Amino acid sequence: MLYQIYETQRSIMEPFSDLASVTSKLLNNPLSPLGHLPLAQRMAAGYDLLHRLGKDYEKPEFGIHTVDVDGVDVAIHERVEIDKPFCELRRFKRFSDDTTTLGKLKGQPVVLIVAPLSGHYATLLRDTVRTMLKDHKVYITDWKNARLVPLSEGEFHLDDYINYVQEFIRYLQKTYGNCHVMSVCQPTVPVLAAVSLMASRGETTPLSMTMMGGPIDARKSPTAVNNLATQRSFAWFENNVIYRVPDKFPGAGRRVYPGFLQHTGFVAMNPDRHLNSHYDYFQNLIKGDDASAEVHRKFYDEYNAVLDMDADYYLETIHTVFQDFKLVNGTWDVRNEQGRVERVRPQDIVHSGLLTVEGELDDISGSGQTAAAHALCTGIPAAQRKHYEAKGAGHYGIFSGKRWRDLVYPEVKAFILAHQPSPSAPDAAAQAPARKTPARKRAVPAKTA
């Protein structure tokens, strides 16, 4: 019922938000008589802020059209490679008519970025993608808003998330021979499970895994997010945050954790920070500081755009990751695409490099939570594992902004390159030690860019 009430309220407020936007523009227009009223600039700023507080925020675009590769502008074409009911595998294909640059692009590593399914859209990793595109062929998981997925598409569980990741990895392996995987925040756990299951079956695993700011072991340095999950029962989450999608959406009737509730939780974590940010925005509009005002708009256009999560997936994540700690306790069983239940065993991973990244000031995934992956992946030689802590970086700083670009990215780039076989090198699978389970033959690398 709460979802229906929220949507009704939003529908009522929408015309007032639009009116506030129009009024703000009239007060800002020097050709309008309203623009010459006393305090017009202050009134315009107030109406603009009112509009932004009341408007509905749509899914943003990645908007990456070119990247600079060694001084050459390379065109980016964004397209969907695989379309699943709850996710799209999105590719950022690079084009250049500079033959030297094109030669560099063809030989660069292939990276699957697994974006979080935890409230925000994959576009939150826009800076991650833009930076990675300079030296890598980039694919990303673009998760869909559950309220737009019809009930006819079935349910979506944490097991389905893991199966999706495996399908995408196999697709890139078939296309290129192999790939590297990067997971940011929430997906570190299901990605580690996905690769573990592939290793246990004897499948070829990714060349490397980069895991950034995720709750591999949420018991370590618990944050406010972790405490909420442990202090509340599973039944509390099911009874208090799960609602059915209203009739006006394609996913009508689907049980979800609504985006507007998630957004309320995000803001509640740092209310003073958001209040000060909006006040600063108001002051910048009055002063005519358009550059600072635009920075605010871009941030909140992204931050305020949230999606609904399927209830089964969300509740199972709470139970598995934050309450029972099944990954670190070795008790996690996953149902594969064929319906068979398999135990997650990270110790079976042998041939994938492991890089974990944490932010010194991360208040979402506490210190040591991501590094815990090393204690689980005992089959990976120590020389193929590395941990990096980004000094002065918070949660978002490890994948976006100056610290990501200047501190974290050089570490990620070097680690991936160290685990990327040269084109002339013999097949790594042929050189690998014999294993107890039969290894699937590695596909021949494709000749495509």
* Inside any domain, residue 445: no
- The answer to whether 327 touches 344, Cβ cutoff 8 Å, is yes
Identify whether 277 is part of a domain: yes
Check if the beta carbon of residue 90 is closer than 8 Å to that of residue 142.
Answer: yes
**Is residue 75 located within the same domain as residue 191?**
yes
pLDDT at residue 11 in the model? 85
- In this prediction, residue 1 carries a pLDDT of 77
Tokens of 124: 């939150």
List the structure tokens of 400: 């976006």
Residue 29 lies in a domain: yes
Same domain, 226 and 319: yes
Domain membership flag for residue 440: no
Output the pLDDT for position 424: 57
Task: Check whether residue 368 and residue 295 sit in a common domain.
Answer: no
Residues of the chain with pLDDT under 50: 426-448
Is 432 part of a structural domain of the chain? no
Based on the fold, state whether residues 313 and 297 are members of the same structural domain: no
Model confidence over 386-434: pLDDT tens digits? 999 999 999 999 999 999 999 999 999 999 999 999 775 544 443 343 3
pLDDT of residue 432: 41
CA dist list (Å): 162 to 85, 129, 363, 423: 14, 22, 26, 30
Q: Which residues pair with 68 in a beta bridge?
A: 73
Find the length of the chain. 449
Q: What is the pLDDT of residue 267?
A: 84
Give phi and psi for 93, each to the nearest 5.
-80, 135
The CATH number for 147's domain is 3.40.50.1820
**Kind and range of the H or E element at 71?**
none
pLDDT of residue 426: 47
Q: Which amino acid is at 49?
A: L
CB 346 within 8 A of CB 192: yes
Eight-class DSSP state of 412? H
Measure the CA–CA gap between 171 and 176, rounded to whole angstroms. Answer: 9
Tell whether 135 and 272 lie within a shared domain.
Answer: no
Same domain, 278 and 220: no
CA distances in angstroms from 188 to 202, 247, 357, 369, 406, listed in the order given: 21, 34, 11, 10, 23
Number of domains in the chain: 2
Q: What angle do CA 320, 162, 419 make, to 5 degrees?
A: 110
Last residue of a domain, one of 274, 303, 332: 303
Structural domain contains residue 337: yes
Residue 250 lies in a domain: no
Q: Is 36 in the same domain as 99?
A: no
Are 403 and 216 in contact by the 8 Å Cβ rule? The answer is: no
Task: Tell me, yes or no, whether 342 and 363 share the same domain.
Answer: yes
What is the Cα 103 distance to its own chain's centre?
Answer: 30
Write the Ramachandran bin of 213: left for phi over 0, alpha for psi from -120 to 50, otherwise beta: left
pLDDT of residue 449: 52
Same domain, 264 and 373: no
84 and 224 share one domain? yes
Q: What is the DSSP string of 230-291?
A: HHS-HHHHHHHS-EEPPTTSTTTT-EEE-HHHHHHHHHHHSHHHHHHHHHHHHHHHHHT-HH
Q: What pLDDT is attached to residue 76?
A: 97
Last residue of one domain, picked from the residues 250, 272, 303: 303
Residues 142-158: pLDDT tens digits?
Answer: 999 999 999 999 999 99
In a domain, 429, yes or no: no
Domain extent at residue 295: 2-56+259-303
- Predicted confidence at residue 447, as pLDDT, reads 38
Query: 84 and 32, same structural domain?
Result: no
Same domain, 101 and 170: yes
* Res 385: pLDDT: 97
pTM across the whole model: 0.89
Q: In this structure, what are the phi and psi dihedrals at residue 69, rounded to the nearest 5 degrees?
A: -120, 100
Q: What is the pLDDT of residue 56?
A: 87
The pLDDT of residue 183 is 97
> Cα(212)–Cα(219) distance, rounded to whole angstroms?
17
For residues 284 and 14, give the distance between their C-alpha atoms in angstroms, rounded to a whole number: 25
Mode of pairing for the β-strands spanning 341-343 and 333-335 = antiparallel
Question: Residue for token digits 């070119």?
Answer: 66
